[in-house]
Structure 1
């Protein structure tokens, strides 16, 4: 048999594989199996053709190369000229592969900045007006979570549940941990963690303090206290935690870099040589769960309801994996996002002394800074909301996939089974939605309502069934920290700390990671 004939057949087979198989449906979670299947097929083919037809292994390897070339040639031609979305403007290479985004947008973990520049260059090729936000994220939207949400498969947290009925069932369990009664029960432990933060600030007063690091430690302590029934005393032994914080950050970076090529994430996560941090973090999660099972807290915590539901269920392998997934979600949502939001808020306080004075004046007038009194201080919530607007916790937006019949957004019809999302950072800094969009103006949420043109685009905790279950706890935590600090201290940037350095240090790892923020706290006179 002619080698050229074999090469042509292999190329045709590759193109056929793309057009008839890989072009249809989702294959992201099967990527590792596909690699194994191809490796096995190559091995078997090598054995057969070399034995029966006396074809050299070099020729077999060349045939496989032609197969791959045919597959990718078909993919490139189809995506460039025949894909149903080919008419939408954007970088040409981005049409061909998600690795374009990996190579450009996530290189410095500044995806939200890169996306904003692309929209400035190409326009609203996915509509960014209020209709888009509501069409994609409102409670009655027909869209579902996109392929990215399968990136941790087979493990699946509440956030990653793509089936709406499964998500609704599990969300009911989570909601029990965030009722008004439950929140009241958390106030004592929250107060102890806040006090520990204040002790740390007092010891460092008049000295530069890396507040990004301290708020990471604080939020992690609150999370461990309220989710796993223990206090880790992070403020007393910070060196002990450098390892787990480093591992967590590396896991987040991996997800951020390959978010646009979700088929690669299972390979990245499950092959230890590529991502040793993921395996280490999963081992740490299992330890936390085991310790929590062995040490039942006197008062129910957030994890109590999730664990009870698990114990009442059949405890299948998938149930256990989902329990680990929920633990992962608690760590990220319960510490990482709160710490980032607090850091950005305190940055704006440190650069707005007049706002600090106004807040202190209102706080001083309260009979106490108990949480029920803080709810009356509109300026605190306005300050937090403005920080969340300028620094959304998920700056690149949440991925969704349109229903089979497609989705109409404004005057545009998006075809079915199309991945869509609204880049949060971009819409919240769009002059069509907010006057002076890049300026920090808390009054836009109180006395200067005219500065908000489109309220519907501001969804700091998402909306609908996927709205953050712990948003009331997060706001309670942030109000408490801001009030306790401002009642005791004035705050300013440390020498050498610039606004630009802080802003340039911000990273996008799906959730936002603030740059280092060095501050000086001085006791009030």
Structure 2
């Protein structure tokens, strides 16, 4: 009997496709990670459309449009089965349903994405959810936020069974050290980074940090007391340093005062990543679609070019990339993935070492302008230091207790990663604070929320550096405080970032009086902070006036 479209468009046919979709969800998509399969699944769908349509045209004399109509309706029924099964499972049967949270958070990662995109204050949204629902809140289909103080060490300790979440795969196939989810491979690659940040290595970088510190203060001098955008220029400072230490040359933004294309692309990429970081499946799609992927390809091409140029031109003095490159060159037969990892690490050196240090420094200057008593006390310590040291060095500078206390307090109030680092529980699950967390659950310790928790800090919303020095009673539980992370994930470049902050703060505060520029609203700066995984800053205009009344030797 000759088949027609009517024979293949019966309720039975569509019902079979629908049931198949339900079964595929239950037995396939509910297991394992599918976030990076977006392009492969689209190709599989396209192959299905072409293959089955050709079969119908050849075997049953369908026209191309008739065949495509039938196969598209079959697929729509199949996809509907997957979707309804997925939503029903998440709404009523999911393993995380016993945890409180907004109902919409159960259904889709679009809910937390909406919260993240709406005003880009995800860390504040998470804090509100904890205030409403308690210490453990479900903020996504497979994601919970845990704010109990004792949970931090359980999740982030070196011996913790958790792994990094699928979020770290969004830059695939460029897998930098931070994105390496496999513990053994991470430990092996971490060795080169640890060599790059020994005390000896830091001393090799010190004169370069001093060079760019002087360039920054030269730019401040050029402004002669006029409004100076601290957010932008301190970011120029950190980017120029890390460009030197990664690629052997600066981006020259401090000298030119012009944003480098790489600087612009990096911030745009960071903003995009921060907004859509829970829609992991979206990133492979953007990377694969022509026109949409043009900025991404341009960005990658720049980094590859810098890596190749750096490999051909060894610097006279070692930089951070020297140690990463040593490990790569030691490979007998480096694979394409090894090279992708090398490029990813080059990118990581610049990004991880620039935006984080810049935001921390700028936030502290903002606090100091708001608290003249703290500023005066810090200046006294810095002036005393300069009067007894003809030349500064990273060892002695690291012993300035009140300076470090100010840095610690600023990082507590405005942590670099305010929403916390996403981790995934082991397949068998784990107990956290006596609560069983099912396997393959993404868990966060929300830094901003926990650092402002009265169970951990007295007067948690106040800027009081003395809590780290002479008033330890203001700290109830210091175990939650790890602005550079802890365990195997502790920031490799922590000491370099601190060295940059100490030098630039010492130089600025010993030479200038600081104040907000006329017309600047200090609260507008706080309101404009953006949670892009790391903290992104709005404009902050300040005025720097030479300290004519203070004369410091050295």
- Tell me if TM exceeds 0.5: yes
Please tell me whether the aligned partners of residues 105 and 115 of structure 1 are also in contact (alpha carbons under 8 angstroms).
no
Give the aligned length.
524
Which residue of 511, 514, 518 corresponds with 2:537?
A: 514
Q: Map 1:64-79; keep pairs closer than 5 Å.
A: 64-79=75-90
Cα distance in 2 for residues equivalent to 1:426 and 1:51 = 63
Cα distance in 1 for residues equivalent to 2:240 and 2:8 = 68
1:127 is aligned to 146
2:313 is aligned to 295
Cα distance in 2 for residues equivalent to 1:47 and 1:475 = 64
1:147 is aligned to 166
2:200 is aligned to 181
Cα distance in 2 for residues equivalent to 1:47 and 1:376 = 75
> What is the CA distance between 1:50 and its match in structure 2?
4.3
1:95 is aligned to 106
1:9 is aligned to 16
Superposed CA RMSD: 1.5
1:269 is aligned to 287
Please tell me whether the aligned partners of residues 49 and 68 of structure 2 are also in contact (alpha carbons under 8 angstroms).
no
Cα distance in 1 for residues equivalent to 2:252 and 2:21 = 57
1:60-89 superposed Cα distances (whole Å, 9 cap, x missing partner): 322211111111000000011111111211
Question: Residues 115, 276 of structure 1: CA spacing in aligned structure 2 closer, same or farther, 3 A cutoff?
Answer: farther
Matched, 1:353 2:372: yes
Matched, 1:118 2:129: yes
Q: Map 1:62-461; keep pairs closer than 5 Å.
A: 62-125=73-136, 126-239=145-258, 241-313=259-331, 314-366=333-385, 367-368=388-389, 369-461=392-484
> What is the CA distance between 1:505 and its match in structure 2?
1.0
Cα distance in 1 for residues equivalent to 2:119 and 2:43 = 32
Please tell me whether the aligned partners of residues 50 and 57 of structure 1 are also in contact (alpha carbons under 8 angstroms).
no
Q: Map 1:432-511; keep pairs closer than 5 Å.
A: 432-511=455-534
Cα distance in 2 for residues equivalent to 1:275 and 1:353 = 48
Q: Secondary structure at the match of 1:365?
A: helix
Cα distance in 2 for residues equivalent to 1:86 and 1:317 = 42
Cα distance in 2 for residues equivalent to 1:176 and 1:294 = 22
Cα distance in 1 for residues equivalent to 2:318 and 2:337 = 25
Cα distance in 1 for residues equivalent to 2:278 and 2:394 = 41
Cα distance in 2 for residues equivalent to 1:378 and 1:455 = 17
Cα distance in 2 for residues equivalent to 1:5 and 1:238 = 68
Cα distance in 2 for residues equivalent to 1:142 and 1:489 = 49
1:77-106 superposed Cα distances (whole Å, 9 cap, x missing partner): 001111111121111111111111112322
> What is the CA distance between 1:485 and its match in structure 2?
0.6
Please tell me whether the aligned partners of residues 137 and 464 of structure 1 are also in contact (alpha carbons under 8 angstroms).
yes
1:45 is aligned to 52
Please tell me whether the aligned partners of residues 493 and 518 of structure 1 are also in contact (alpha carbons under 8 angstroms).
yes
2:139 is aligned to none
Q: Secondary structure at the match of 1:154?
A: coil
TM-score, scaled to structure 1: 0.97
Where do 5+ consecutive residues of structure 1 fail to align?
none
1:455-514 superposed Cα distances (whole Å, 9 cap, x missing partner): 011001000111000101111110111111111001010011112110111011111111
Cα distance in 2 for residues equivalent to 1:438 and 1:287 = 46
1:410-429 superposed Cα distances (whole Å, 9 cap, x missing partner): 12011122111111111111
Cα distance in 1 for residues equivalent to 2:235 and 2:77 = 51
Cα distance in 2 for residues equivalent to 1:200 and 1:389 = 29
Question: Residues 505, 201 of structure 1: CA spacing in aligned structure 2 closer, same or farther, 3 A cutoff?
Answer: same
Q: Secondary structure at the match of 2:253?
A: coil
Which has the larger Rg?
2
1:27 is aligned to 34
Where do 5+ consecutive residues of structure 2 fail to align?
1-6, 137-144, 550-554
1:27-58 superposed Cα distances (whole Å, 9 cap, x missing partner): 11222111111121122222223443445532
Q: Secondary structure at the match of 2:97?
A: coil
Q: Secondary structure at the match of 1:106?
A: helix
Please tell me whether the aligned partners of residues 513 and 544 of structure 2 are also in contact (alpha carbons under 8 angstroms).
yes
Cα distance in 2 for residues equivalent to 1:146 and 1:303 = 27
Deviates more, 1:380-389 or 1:91-100: 91-100
> What is the CA distance between 1:242 and its match in structure 2?
4.4
Cα distance in 2 for residues equivalent to 1:9 and 1:114 = 43
Cα distance in 1 for residues equivalent to 2:58 and 2:94 = 42
Please tell me whether the aligned partners of residues 253 and 260 of structure 2 are also in contact (alpha carbons under 8 angstroms).
no
Question: Residues 108, 229 of structure 1: CA spacing in aligned structure 2 closer, same or farther, 3 A cutoff?
Answer: same
